[in-house]
Amino acid sequence: MLLDFFFKLRDAKIPVTVREYLTLLEGMKAQFMSPSIDNFYHLSKLTLVKDERFFDRFDQVFGLYFKGLEGNAELFAHIPKDWLEKRFNREFTAEEKAAIEAMGGLDKLMERLQELLKEQKERHEGGNKWIGSGGTSPFGNNGYNPEGIRIGQKESRNRSAVKVWDQRNFQDYDDQLEIGTRNIKVALRRLRRFAREGAAEELDLDDTIESTAKNAGWLDIKMRPERHNSVKVLMLLDVGGSMDDHIRRTEELFSAARSEFKHLEFYYFHNCVYDFLWKKNHRRHSERFLTMDILRKYNSDYRLIFVGDATMSPYEILQPGGSVEYNNKEAGAVWLRRFLDRFTRACWLNPEPQGLWQYRQSVEIIQNIMEDHMYPLTVEGLERAMRYLSK
């Protein structure tokens, strides 16, 4: 059974070796933890996966291979459904939503939250004032408010939160994804420019044959500079939150870009760029890169590509302290303009369907900042974006 699991991991292009497989068997034989599917998951992930880039792929293979292993399905069948449902999974009508007023800005929300934290003494559900769940209060989860602070909720429902109280974990985009279509690569190739420059490190076979023939059969090896892609690309990728809906398409783009551009640098951000970026999402709180250092590091001849759905609270772009995760000292718009001042060619690729852009105030704001160089993440949109960047 475990041998089949080992080959499934290899089929998924996770670089698992026999030595690591034997280490897993030794760990199981030692019995230093209680036998359970959760403990086996952690042990196998620890021993078999040596590169965090493959954690997400490992989870997918593990879930598919051991699906239903925990069993006990017959026990759950006898539990009444109403025991398991959310008591306050409330759905609001359009009329109810229209009647709910926003508090009037980030500063007022933060001031009111501080007051409630001092006053509130117990749990509340379905209300319109206190920190709770299932209601219309601006503070809590699983309810509705046009401008709120989400607290204690795993994922976004209405995408209207001004701030998110909880620290969330994001995953890196997989740059080894096998793409089902070549269309993205073809579109990206519009940006490629090849140049004959650099050291003579590549064998010129035709010239070698010709020179050898002219030299009466004595081998005369001819070398030439490597033919490579001279375009340099800096890609900044939005990750987490509403971008979870677009993981597949973004991974396809990222994977294609890694294969097409020899000079590709990338960093992650969440919703909007601020004073720091990161390269590893599971280390984004400990390994940060100052945005100002990145602006100084890369020359202006880099082509800058933002990738994100631009779906956020307008405060995140226009106001200091507007980030959903921390109190940024400068507004996101200030940092966006710094990037545009630094790089002469920049565009924004948006995976959100273009028909929805008109309903997102934040999309319009970023479109204006980008001087309308926002393109949909479609083949046609990519071709237009690459045509602009290659000028």
Kindly report, residue by residue over 12-68, the tens digit of the pLDDT.
888 888 888 888 888 888 877 777 777 788 888 888 888 777 777 888 788 777 764
Answer whether residue 174 is part of any domain.
Answer: no
Is 152 a domain residue? yes
CB 112 within 8 A of CB 168: no
Based on the domain organization, do 159 and 240 belong to the same domain? Answer: no
Q: Is residue 292 part of a domain?
A: yes
pLDDT tens-digit profile of 120-138? 666 656 566 666 566 666 6
pTM, full prediction: 0.55
For residue 178, tell me if it sits in a domain.
Answer: no
CATH number of the CATH domain containing 363: 3.40.50
How far apart CA 369 and CA 350 sit, in angstroms, is: 14
The answer on 334 and 249 residing in a single domain is: yes
Residue 51, phi then psi, degrees to nearest 5: -130, 125
Domain assignment present for 170? no
Q: Do 60 and 95 sit in the same domain of this protein?
A: no
Tell me: do 222 and 264 sit in the same domain: no
Residues 291 and 339 reside in one and the same domain: yes
Q: How many domains does the chain have?
A: 4
Residue at a domain's end among 44, 73, 102: 73
For residues 301 and 376, state if they share a domain. Answer: yes
Say what the pLDDT of residue 391 is.
Answer: 76
Same domain, 203 and 298: no
The range of the structural domain enclosing residue 6 comes to: 2-73
Domain contains 60: yes
Residue 84 lies in a domain: no
Residues of the chain with pLDDT under 70: 1, 67-114, 116-187, 189-202, 225-229
Q: How far apart are CA 377 and CA 136, in angstroms?
A: 35
Strand intervals (E) in the chain: 132-133, 139-141, 148-150, 161-164, 194-203, 223-229, 232-238, 263-269, 276-277, 289-290, 303-307, 346-350, 374-376
